[in-house]
Amino acid sequence: MKVGIIGCGNIADIYFKNSQKYFNNFDIIACADIKEDASVHYSKLYGVENLSVDKLLNHSEIELIINLTIPDVHFEVSQSILQAGKHSYSEKPLSIEFNHGKQLLDLSKEKNLYLGCAPDTFLGAGIQESKKILENNIIGNINMGSIAMGVAGHEIWHPNPDFYYKYGGGPVLDMGPYYFTALVNLLGPAKSVYSQSRTVYNKRIIGSGSRKDEEVIVDIPTTLVSQIEFDNGALIDSFFSFDTWKHNKNHIELYGDKGSINIPDPNTFGGSINICTSKNGEWETIATDKNNLGKINIHNSKKTNENPGIANYRGIGVSEMVDSINNKRLNRCSGELSLHVLDILDTIIKSSENDKKLQLRSSINEVSYFGEDEISKLLN
Ligand SMILES: NC(=O)c1ccc[n+]([C@@H]2O[C@H](COP(=O)([O-])OP(=O)(O)OC[C@H]3O[C@@H](n4cnc5c(N)ncnc54)[C@H](O)[C@@H]3O)[C@@H](O)[C@H]2O)c1
């Protein structure tokens, strides 16, 4: 399938690179950006056509467009892609407003087009193997859990970090998609949220690039502490912070009535799982690069000689969506899933603003296990 990209910033590189290196069912043939020098850069680097946004939207051969713009404009860009009659796959989050996300899902259905959204890291071995462990009832029913993401701030490395500190940014909308997409895959849909927030610093100093040492004013909460209740009864405590210089919290831990499981960083494709199945017992480590899913797939990188811990297969969600389109089934990084995740993120923020427990507005059916045979057929 012929594909275009709108938004040629920081994250675009890995999409261009991986489409040429790994995936066999789509070709990125053109790109566009409101800043022409940004799309010229990638067009030269990867030998694709540089177009205006309008020309890309109206390109007769392009069937799917990947939206890699900043979150604030995800809605308007994805909407214009669908209105142009093309399938839309966007970086996370689906939108910064639940109602806009819902409009995108409705529009995609009305036009009989596919809607997809990152993250696709949950398709990697870290989360998929954890899913298998839960499905095999090794940990029992999950009653409680804890998730944590704390960093000192993306301005340390990102050359244009403004959007992280403005309306639509913040740690929950930025990093929450990885954690909640993983959790919804593991536990099913969530139902309610209570949340409180803090803003520790009122300005940030850019640490790299041409704007190094420039100040960014912080307009939003930068730490959110929440309790999320899932339909299956699990109560999850959740910590998201751009104010944390260092911490030793685990990314995702779930506590069942037969044991505990420690799940690797959902912002990566691999990592080790730890389980404990006796009271006060030792952790047993399950290395996901050695499991039986791992012959030639994104789960262990043998085929590509990459370190599975750091292998970055961003774009597998696009490839899986192309395969879903070709085979007329629902894609895994679906509009439904990303809308439910957006609902959780948005409700966390609204709950903290209102200091009130809030019910979610959406739900989702189970997302099926992503197996080796399916992965293998997408790779070069
Ligand atoms: N940078 C990362 O490491 C990273 C990782 C994972 C996901 N993401 C996600 O990827 C998305 C992009 O992040 P980034 O870091 O690449 O941002 P960026 O600011 O580096 O790039 C965004 C690009 O989009 C362009 N753009 C903005 N509005 C546009 C519009 N209306 N039409 C066309 N182009 C437009 C900008 O000119 C810019 O070149 C975000 O949703 C972010 O959450 C980023």
| Residues 177, 294 within the same domain | yes
| Residues 15, 143 within the same domain | no
- And the tokens for 144? 């409680």
Whose tokens are 């190094």? That residue is 212
Residue 188 is assigned to a structural domain of this protein: yes
pLDDT tens digit at each of 380 positions of the chain: 999 999 999 999 999 999 998 899 999 999 999 999 999 999 999 999 999 999 999 999 999 999 999 999 999 999 999 999 999 999 999 999 999 999 999 999 999 999 999 999 999 888 999 999 999 999 999 999 999 999 999 999 999 999 999 999 999 999 999 999 999 999 999 999 999 999 999 999 999 999 999 999 999 999 999 999 999 999 999 999 999 999 999 999 999 999 999 999 999 888 889 999 999 999 999 877 654 333 334 554 444 455 555 567 899 999 999 999 999 999 999 999 999 999 999 999 999 999 999 999 999 999 999 987 888 888 88
Residue 374 is assigned to a structural domain of this protein: no
| Residues 89, 136 within the same domain | no
Residue 364 is assigned to a structural domain of this protein: no
Instruction: Kindly give the distance from the C-alpha atom of residue 12 to the centroid of ligand 1, in angstroms, as a whole number.
Output: 8
Instruction: Kindly give the distance from the C-alpha atom of residue 69 to the centroid of ligand 1, in angstroms, as a whole number.
Output: 4
Residue 342 is assigned to a structural domain of this protein: yes
| Residues 243, 109 within the same domain | no
Instruction: Kindly give the distance from the C-alpha atom of residue 344 to the centroid of ligand 1, in angstroms, as a whole number.
Output: 22
Residue 100 is assigned to a structural domain of this protein: yes
Cβ neighbours, 10 Å, residue 257: 9
Instruction: Kindly give the distance from the C-alpha atom of residue 33 to the centroid of ligand 1, in angstroms, as a whole number.
Output: 10
| Residues 86, 170 within the same domain | no
Residue 182 is assigned to a structural domain of this protein: yes
CB-based burial label for 285 (10 Å; 0-12, 13-18, 19+):
exposed
DSSP H stretches of helix in 71-221: 74-83, 98-110, 125-135, 170-187
| Residues 248, 212 within the same domain | yes
Question: If you write DSSP's letter for every residue of 23-83 in order, what string do you get?
Answer: BSS-EEEEEE-SSHHHHHHHHHHHT-EE--HHHHHT-SS--EEEE-S-GGGHHHHHHHHHH
Residues 6+ away with beta carbon under 8 Å from 19: 3, 26, 27, 28, 315, 318
Q: Is the CB of 172 under 6 A from ligand 1?
A: no
Q: What is the CATH number of the domain that holds 276?
A: 3.30.360.10
Q: Which amino acid, residue 12?
A: A
| Residues 104, 137 within the same domain | no
Q: Is the CB of 71 under 6 A from ligand 1?
A: yes
CA-CA-CA-CA torsion for 244, 245, 248, 249, nearest 10 degrees?
10
| Residues 89, 144 within the same domain | no
Host domain of residue 47:
2-117
Pairwise CA distance, residues 217 & 161, whole Å: 11
